[in-house]
């Protein structure tokens, strides 16, 4: 009886070998040998900030673009995440007719995030009180759930605006538990230790607005003014060089 079982088992092994030889490795064996796909980096999109200044609202209006751009640049020093450029965000807002609907709520931010493939969408506001103290406030919306997953703010003097933005980026990176770490590029790239930060932020914001309106000459002049105010802004120098190389 035992000999019959041994013979049957041997015949089963031979049959299996012939099957594998004819059709290739079995599916589960192939799956076991296939390396797991690399984990995708989380993507973050920063929407243009709201102007919530209690005083001199017109003076701070253009900065809603500048703070968005600089927060994007500061977060982008972390190679462990992907960042959506402002141009792509604006294109989606225009296509979805969301730019004229007033302030964007979490549900709308979630919709934008899904279209862009961004896990987190950051919505922010610039708040300036009568004593000229400045506060930057941010809410992080999870595009999968439409829930506000994290809130953060930083406060300080307006003439340290680049430093405030960089501090905010650091807190967001830690608070959302984003992978990777932020490289130390603050001094020569983001102007955090440079002079005239508030004036430079306003000039840079105006330059970006002119650029998007198609006024390349005006944008170049304002970017040059920005660098005269704060020469540490390497990101502005890069933008200026790009515009200067465009065909006339």
Q: Per residue of the chain (248 residues), give pLDDT as tens.
A: 434 344 444 444 444 343 334 334 434 434 444 444 456 899 999 999 999 999 989 989 989 999 999 999 999 999 999 999 999 999 999 888 876 555 688 999 999 999 999 999 999 999 999 888 999 999 999 999 999 999 999 999 999 999 999 999 999 999 999 998 877 666 678 999 999 999 999 999 999 999 999 999 999 999 999 999 999 999 999 999 999 998 86
- What count of residues does the chain have? 248
Rounded-to-integer distance, Cα 139 and Cα 125, Å = 9
* Neighbouring residues of 57: CB distance < 8 A, sequence distance ≥ 6: 51
- What is the pTM for the complete model shown? 0.82
Who's near 10: CB < 8 A, 6+ residues apart?
none
CA atoms within 13 A on the CB side of 219: 19
Q: Give the H/E segment covering residue 135.
A: strand 133-142
- Residue 111 CA to residue 52 CA, distance in Å, equals 24
């Amino acid at each position: 009886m035992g000999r019959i079982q041994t013979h049957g088992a041997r015949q089963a092994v031979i049959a299996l070998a012939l099957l594998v030889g004819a059709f290739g490795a079995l599916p589960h064996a192939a799956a076991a040998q296939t390396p797991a796909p690399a984990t995708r980096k989380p993507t973050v999109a920063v929407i243009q900030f709201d102007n919530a200044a209690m005083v001199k609202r017109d003076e701070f209006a253009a900065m809603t673009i500048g703070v968005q751009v600089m927060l994007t640049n500061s977060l982008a020093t972390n190679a462990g995440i992907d960042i959506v450029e402002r141009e792509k965000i604006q294109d989606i807002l225009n296509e979805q007719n969301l730019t004229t609907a007033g302030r964007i709520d979490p549900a709308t931010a979630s919709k934008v995030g899904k279209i862009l493939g961004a896990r987190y969408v950051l919505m922010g506001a610039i708040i300036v009180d009568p004593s000229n103290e400045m506060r930057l406030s941010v809410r992080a919306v999870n595009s999968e759930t439409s829930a506000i997953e994290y809130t953060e703010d930083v406060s300080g003097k307006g003439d340290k605006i680049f430093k405030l933005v960089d501090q905010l980026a650091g807190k967001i990176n830690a608070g959302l538990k984003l992978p990777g770490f932020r490289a130390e590029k603050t001094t020569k790239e983001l102007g955090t230790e440079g002079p005239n930060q508030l004036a430079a932020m306003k000039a840079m914001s105006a330059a970006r607005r002119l650029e998007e309106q198609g006024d390349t000459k005006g944008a170049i002049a304002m970017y040059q003014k920005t660098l005269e105010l704060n020469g540490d802004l390497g990101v502005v120098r890069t933008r200026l060089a790009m515009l200067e190389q465009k065909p006339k």
